[in-house]
Amino acid sequence: MNATYNPSDLSSAAEAAGFAGFDGFGPDDFDAMAVPGLQPRMAAIIERVRPKLHALGQALAPQLSRLCGEQMTAHVAKHARRSVNPPDDTWVAWSPSPRGYKAFPHFQIGLWSTHLFIQFAVIYECPAKSAFAERAEAELASIRSSVPAEYQWSKDHMQPEGTAHRDLSDEELSALFVRLRTVKAAELTCGLHIRRDDPLLSDGKALLAKAESVFETLLPLYKMARA
């Protein structure tokens, strides 16, 4: 391993990967998320994972722009504010702003050591989250029927676990939206979790196709948040 952690580093490998395509994720990528210590883990992320996130960002931005009807820009997590604790996950996010994603409803693909996630997210920095929550409460029946049973909802993007859509009652699903609307620091994600040992993850073309399918499924939530 020859990479070192610099918060502003995109690395020549990452830039090259943006043009070289995407060939999926393997065990080493997930193992990078469990390397002990901030500096060693960030070195592993920069060397192994970040180039693939850049490639994903470039590959999927045109498809997401087409789906969303607006220009979508990819943003790869830099974890620049960390000084002690290493990140437990890392990701690429797509938003309608070239300046960032946290203040907007957005899509993400990322890794924990245990699984990959493909999801829609509204986090606490997003000023539209209350309006989205109101619309979601009003459209509860359509959300109930359109979100696949195995998709995971989470009210904390810093935790790897979610709750499967099939396991939420209508009251519990509604409570997620009420919390998003009424709690200042509330946030909400919804999407597909794929175990690290799933063969799909090592097939770049198949994973890109799956990601586009998941984003299309989640598009009504994004449209609701952008209305």
Asked whether the predicted pLDDT for residue 214 surpasses 90, the reply is yes
Cα–Cα distance for residue pair 143/13, rounded to 1 Å: 41
Dihedral sign, CA of 171, 174, 180, 186? positive
Q: Which CATH number fits domain 12-226: 3.40.630.30, 3.90.1150.10, 1.10.630.10, 3.30.930.20?
A: 3.30.930.20
Dihedral sign, CA of 14, 203, 223, 131? negative
pTM over 0.75: yes
Query: For residue 90, what is the enclosing H or E element?
Result: strand 90-95
% residues pLDDT > 70 (the chain): 91
Residues 6+ apart with CB under 8 A from 170: 140, 144
pLDDT, tens digit (0-9, with 9 covering 90-100), for 172-199: 999 999 999 999 999 999 999 999 999 9
- Residue 180's nearest CA partner among 220, 128, 111 is 128
pLDDT, tens digit (0-9, with 9 covering 90-100), for 124-164: 999 999 999 999 999 999 999 999 999 999 998 888 899 99
Asked whether the predicted pLDDT for residue 7 surpasses 80, the reply is no
Where do the domains of the chain lie? 12-226
Tell me the range of 10-14, 76-80, 204-208 where mean pLDDT is highest: 204-208
Q: What's the whole-number mean pLDDT along residues 110-124?
A: 97
pLDDT, tens digit (0-9, with 9 covering 90-100), for 51-93: 999 999 999 999 999 999 999 999 999 997 777 899 999 999 9
In the chain, helix, strand, coil percent, each to 5? 45, 15, 35
Q: Name the pLDDT band for 13 (thresholds 50, 70, 90).
A: very low
Question: 110: which 2 tokens?
Answer: 């990322």
Query: For residue 14, what is the enclosing H or E element?
Result: helix 12-20
